[in-house]
Structure 1
Amino acid sequence: MKICGLMDQVTVDETVQAGADYLGFVFAKSKRNITPEKVRAITRNVPEKVKIVGVFVSPSLKELEAVIRIAKLDLVQIHGELFPEIVSRISIPVIQSFDGQSPELPSLLASSTADFYLLDAPITNETYAGGNGKTFDWQKISSESQKQLKKKPFFIAGGLTQANVTEAIQFFEPFAVDVSSSVETDGVKDVTKIKAFIKAVKEQ
């Protein structure tokens, strides 16, 4: 499971202790934006088995290379445009985000060169890509999309909560689930909610 949008040392430590597998840090425009220097500072004690993920929107290769080096990222998660040369030229795995309701999803998945897929809610009037606490209509996933999803490990995101994550896991059988806004209180990560979410996932 991946807890995204982390911003401070205490929450990182508590999230690791609770059993998260991936820690997400947002380098795109966001209320959860963080600098690569700070990510490096607050993740120095993270065990090697827990992976550090940088979240970007349509980044350049130069931007990615700099942040990967400074923050010591294990993976990058890319929303928006993923330029073809990026996957082949960076040294770590790529998670590519897709609109889970897009009618073009089967062809988009088929043409992706990323190492992982991530299905998220569509961006409509939101200011930021991702982390908006909205779900997408799971029933709109076509049989062709389901076939493509079986070809690579994939994450499910978009409005997951302690209450619906069990249903999401049973429906998709994903590689991992990804959460941000539902484990916050007043826009700040809430360790109690993080622990409850992780517990719900681990019980599957």
Structure 2
Amino acid sequence: MPAGEVQTDSIVRDALNCGKQVFIPYIYGASKKGTTNTNIKSMMEMVKLNSLADYESLQRDRWGIPAIDPNTFDQREHVLQTSLEKGEGLDIIFVPGVAFQIDPNSKLVKRLGHGKGYYDSFLHRYQTKFHSTGQQTSQLKVPPLYGLSLKEQYLSTDDEMEVPLETHDYLLQGLAIGDGTFHNSTS
């Protein structure tokens, strides 16, 4: 779905060129990790890109999004397994969506995802694992969540439509909009 979402290629390339660790989403069958919940057909994990060359070697999936080879999944560093256990959390998490809107009361960003719950489930598992390992220190905190939105995906508070919010949805601390506008809830 490359035409319906912000293109992240330059963000990924810049981060890798700056020596940052970059993790990308990988969707896999829930049975691969021994999930016993039969209602969950697939899950998302964030896996590490090893280098710019690694990123450039990725094949495009049916939506045109660079995707790792399933055969390399087990050899890659996974955020929920290795990174948190080594005391290395994420600095920031960028999340896609169909629509975004700033909540007028909290100033946080409401996000409407694609309906599969991959990011909400991952974020819940990340926070659960993060807190269960006792990792919250001054050096390692739960990372802020930022949305990446095309101008057409942003609903202002003046719009008649409203982004729905359910109890399992995560609010975002910021939003970068394709017209160059940036919203940060802490400012």
| TM-score using structure 1 length | 0.32
Between Structure 1 and Structure 2, whose CA radius of gyration is higher?
Answer: 2
Structure 1 or 2: more helix by fraction:
1
